Structure formats: structure tokens, C-alpha cells
């Protein structure tokens, strides 16, 4: 059985815990590797070595650090297909989707090439008589990233790119479900010129996470995952004086107005609702058509599109629409929630519970589901399903529709489909959700803007990537300097106000 190890001080580190986690092939249900889980002592060792390596890295010219990112971009492009194949084999997503996962992370690394500009401070000449004032953005030291299974390339790249470009060392704790790609990225960074020890990849479970949160050396932690864990990490990080940006769950609504292009809206819903088997924090899981006529017409257009979806392993070709979910437990939870929806009175228009893929009976495949006449009191509306399940909640008016999205506890992403500019502008202005799409189903910002949800979808003051990332991974130091003439004539002992 293949074993997957840690990456510490620029080389593979086997570890000594004797504890392992199984890494599955989601398409077959078979165990394909064993992942070594770190002890607290091993995590502390990685942190100590990172702290030593960070001193020289933090003192390196920002432009030289940016050149490492430039080389890193070239190497990721060189190995794109290899990375995508490994990603698909451990996560289950289709090969084109795996390449998209890597590409969206790569775009953040490209943005980080501009780090020298983003790290510039401010300067005020002659703030007082003979006095200049300036600020510097300096790295925090050692920081940590705890990343999820659903984007095993993108989110680690979102974390490591800004953190390293700003001069920090990073401890990366990737998901134990699909850990190989983060380790491959660490090796590529070494090839790109990153000094050993500046990026440490430490695999583990809750024991490792708690060791990260308790470490007095680690100054900040970034997390993406479920809301309960995001809140736990945020609260515990605050107790130990760390900065934290923690992103949790979602229940993203798409409002479809009566004037919308329903073919366009239906196509968008199918892609946004079922792509990656619904395992995206920006997936659209709730469709809100306004008016009964709109709802009936939308369902009529959705059904044939959903029935044509091709579900299969990534090896079946690029025309596969989505693959398996990541684990057997995830599949069971999705089917449990589907049954809850039926029991609570929702209309199951498309029932994928009996889906079975010949030759892959033990895989973690879930057929597509479509619910209609879902109400806000149902569990399938309140909870994040994280699977190929689309719920339709009918609204009588625009105000009712926008009220649904605004009153939900999650606030990650949302969208509206309409031809009316006034409605679109009102929606964008009023909605209390972090990322908004107008005739765009999954409004993930590009790398030079910031990504982050509101309400229980995000904990912390600063978002991922874009300028916010460099603010998060640096602290500001302000210097007041005085070079008066006659300074050698003697000192002054009274505090003197500026003229």
C-alpha cells in the first residue's frame, strides 16, 4: 500500500506517529493510499524549523520573492495535466474540472507576482518640523493554512501564494481526503527556488489542527471548510491571539425573475447546481423563481437538462458532467437529507436515489436530484447538502425572493437572472451576501478582487486573495523620524507638541 508523508525542510518526512488515514478512490470505493498523520511534537518541529527559515526569507527583497512565484507559475503550467490527474483520482471530480481547480489557484499566484507593489508602505514628508512619517508592511512570521477537500489545489494556492510572497513561512495542513496535490505543489515551489523550510506541509486530523491553534509561534491561520469548524477555529485562534480568516458553509440562492431568459437561467442552474457533484461552497443549491408561471416554465426546462447529465468516473472522458462525491459518509449524508426532504413534503421531481453505475457499484456516486415546492422550514433548505441536489423555492414576488436569501443564516454567494437593470442594481445594493452574480451563476471573483462570504459563511475581517490577502498576512509598522538641525547641542526632556 502506497504511503503519503509530510513535507518538512524541503524533503519528504515519514513521521513517527504510527497513525494513518485512508485515502480512497471515490470512483471505486477502494483504498488507494495511507496518509501519515502528524503528532503534536512533529507539528512543533515543523513550526520551529519554519520560524528559522522565515528570518532570511522575510529579509529577501520582495522582487526576488516574486521571481519565485514567476517560476512557480511556469512549473504549474508544465505539470498541469499530471496535477489534474492526481487531483481527479483522489477527489473524483472530472479532468476538466480538476484543471479548472488548478487554474483558479494559478491565477492567484500570477497576482502574487505583483507583491512588491502591494507591499509598499506610505510616506509623509515634513509631517512636522524636520519630521517624516512612514509606514512599512512587514510579514507576520509563521502562518498556517488549513484547507478543504473540495478544492485540493485552488485553496492551498490561495493561501500559500500571498503568505509566502509577503515574506512569511507557512504551515499547510491540507485535507486528509485528497492530500497528494498540495505535496506536489510544495515540491514545485522548491524547484522554483523557495528555500527549504519556508513551506511545510503537515498532514493530520483534529490533533494537528489543535496543535496549530495552540502554537505560540504561529501568528495567523486561514481556514476553509464547514461552518461549525470555521467558528471553532476562529474562536480558538482568538483565544491564543492569532489572526484568523475562516470561511464556512453556504446555501446559495439564484433568483429568476419573470423577465429572465429562462433557457440561459436553466443552463446556468444545471452547471452551478450539479458541477463537481455540488461539492462547491459557491454552488447554487436553491433556485427561487418569482411567480408560478416562471416556476412552472423553469421546472419544464430544467428536467430534460438534468436527465441528460452524464455521471461517471473522470477516466470515462471529458464529456462526463460530474463524478462521485468524496467519501461514502458524504454520499450517505446526501441521501439522508434527500429522504428528509421527501418526508417533510417537498416534491421530488427528479429522484436520483437509485442511481447505479455499472462496474462502479462500490463508488461514491450520487444521482442528480431536483426538488420543487420546497419551503424555508425544511431541512433541505436550511442545511448545506453539498451534493447534486437542487431545491426550488417558489416566491410570489421579488421582495419575497430577496427576503429568502437575506434571512438565511449563510451569506456566501447569490445570483439574480433578469433583463431589468433597476432590479439588478437594487439586488446588488441591498443583498447581505458577500459575492453577487447578475446573470452570472457562480460569482467567484477574479484573483485581483477578494473572495469572502458574510454571516455564518465567513469569520474574520479580511477576505481571501486580492489586496485583502496581503493585508491579512502582513502587519503595519509606522515610523516617525526626526532629523533636526542642531541635534548635537543637547537633548530635550519635555514632550513638545508639533507646530
- Residues classed as catalytic: 281
Other beta carbons less than 10 A from residue 408's beta carbon: 22
Q: Is 311 helix (H, G, I), strand (E, B) or coil?
A: strand
Give the cell for residue 5. Answer: 508523508
Helices (H), 148-245: 154-165, 180-192, 206-214, 227-239
Q: Is 226 left (phi over 0), alpha (psi -120 to 50) or beta?
A: beta
Give the integer Cα–Cα distance in Å for 13 and 98.
27
For residues 83 and 469, give the distance between their C-alpha atoms in angstroms, rounded to a whole number: 25
DSSP string, 333-378: HHHHHHHHHHHTT-EEEE--TT---TT-TTS-----EEEES--TTS
Query: Quick check: 320 and 94 in contact, CB under 8 A?
Result: yes
d(CA 19, CA 110): 37
Q: Is the torsion defined by CA of 444, 447, 449, 454 positive or negative?
A: positive
Own/partner long-range contacts of 316-323 (Cβ < 8 Å, ≥24 apart): 318/94, 318/95, 318/96, 320/94, 321/94, 321/274, 321/275, 322/93, 322/94, 322/97, 322/274, 322/275, 322/276, 322/277, 322/278, 322/388, 323/26, 323/27, 323/88, 323/92, 323/93, 323/94, 323/277, 323/365
CA distance 383 to 248: 12
Residue 350 CB coordination number (10 Å): 19
Find the distance separating the first CA and the last CA of the chain, reported in whole Å.
75
Q: What are phi and psi of 247, to 5 degrees?
A: -115, 130
Residue 440, number of CB atoms within 10 A of its CB: 16
- The sign of the dihedral angle between the CA atoms of 366, 368, 373, 374 is positive
Residue 204, C-alpha cell as written in the block: 493530520
Q: In whole angstroms, what is the distance from residue 315 CA to residue 338 CA?
A: 28
Amino acid at each position: 500500500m502506497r504511503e503519503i508523508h509530510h513535507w518538512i525542510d524541503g524533503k519528504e518526512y515519514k513521521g513517527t506517529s504510527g497513525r494513518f488515514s485512508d485515502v480512497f478512490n471515490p470512483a471505486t470505493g477502494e483504498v488507494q493510499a495511507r496518509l501519515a498523520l502528524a503528532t503534536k511534537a512533529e507539528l512543533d518541529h515543523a513550526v520551529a524549523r519554519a520560524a528559522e527559515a522565515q528570518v532570511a526569507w522575510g529579509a529577501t527583497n520582495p522582487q526576488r520573492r516574486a521571481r519565485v512565484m514567476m517560476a512557480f507559475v511556469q512549473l504549474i503550467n508544465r505539470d498541469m495535466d499530471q496535477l489534474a490527474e492526481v487531483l481527479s483520482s483522489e477527489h473524483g471530480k472530472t479532468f476538466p474540472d480538476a484543471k479548472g481547480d488548478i487554474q483558479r489557484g494559478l491565477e492567484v499566484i500570477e497576482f502574487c507576482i505583483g507583491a512588491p507593489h502591494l507591499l509598499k508602505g506610505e510616506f509623509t514628508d515634513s509631517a512636522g518640523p524636520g519630521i517624516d512619517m512612514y509606514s512599512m508592511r512587514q510579514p507576520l512570521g509563521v502562518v498556517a493554512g488549513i484547507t478543504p477537500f473540495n478544492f485540493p489545489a485552488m485553496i492551498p494556492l490561495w493561501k500559500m501564494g500571498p503568505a509566502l510572497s509577503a515574506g512569511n513561512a507557512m504551515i499547510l495542513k491540507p485535507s486528509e481526503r485528497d492530500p497528494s496535490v498540495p505535496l506536489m505543489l510544495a515540491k514545485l515551489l522548491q524547484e522554483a527556488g523557495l528555500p527549504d523550510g519556508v513551506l511545510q506541509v503537515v498532514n493530520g486530523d483534529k490533533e494537528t489542527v489543535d496543535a496549530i491553534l495552540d502554537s505560540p509561534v504561529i501568528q495567523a491561520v486561514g481556514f476553509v471548510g464547514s461552518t461549525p469548524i470555521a467558528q471553532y477555529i476562529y474562536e480558538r485562534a482568538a483565544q491564543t491571539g492569532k489572526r484568523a480568516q475562516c470561511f464556512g458553509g453556504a446555501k446559495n440562492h439564484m433568483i429568476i425573475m419573470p423577465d429572465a431568459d429562462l433557457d440561459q437561467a436553466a443552463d446556468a442552474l444545471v452547471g452551478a447546481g450539479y458541477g463537481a457533484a455540488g461539492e462547491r461552497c459557491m454552488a447554487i443549491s436553491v433556485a427561487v423563481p418569482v411567480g408560478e408561471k416562471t416556476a412552472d416554465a423553469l421546472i419544464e426546462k430544467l428536467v430534460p437538462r438534468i436527465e441528460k447529465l452524464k455521471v461517471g468516473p473522470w477516466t470515462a472522458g471529458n464529456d462526463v458532467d460530474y463524478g462521485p462525491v468524496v467519501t461514502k459518509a458524504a454520499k450517505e449524508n446526501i441521501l439522508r437529507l434527500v429522504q428528509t426532504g421527501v418526508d417533510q413534503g417537498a416534491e421530488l421531481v427528479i429522484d436520483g436515489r437509485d442511481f447505479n453505475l455499472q462496474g462502479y457499484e462500490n463508488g461514491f456516486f450520487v444521482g442528480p436530484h431536483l426538488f420543487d415546492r420546497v419551503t424555508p422550514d425544511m431541512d433541505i433548505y436550511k442545511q448545506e447538502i453539498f451534493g447534486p441536489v437542487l431545491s426550488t423555492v417558489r416566491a410570489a414576488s421579488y421582495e419575497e425572493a430577496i427576503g429568502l436569501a437575506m434571512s438565511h443564516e449563510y451569506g456566501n454567494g447569490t445570483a439574480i437572472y433578469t433583463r431589468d437593470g433597476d432590479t439588478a442594481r437594487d439586488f446588488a445594493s441591498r443583498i447581505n451576501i458577500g459575492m453577487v452574480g447578475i446573470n452570472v451563476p457562480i460569482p467567484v471573483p477574479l484573483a485581483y478582487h477578494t473572495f469572502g462570504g458574510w454571516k455564518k459563511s465567513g469569520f474574520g475581517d479580511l477576505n481571501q486573495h486580492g489586496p485583502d490577502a496581503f493585508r491579512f498576512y502582513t502587519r503595519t509598522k509606522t515610523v516617525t523620524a526626526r532629523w533636526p538641525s542642531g541635534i548635537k547641542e543637547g537633548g530635550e526632556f519635555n514632550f513638545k507638541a508639533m507646530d
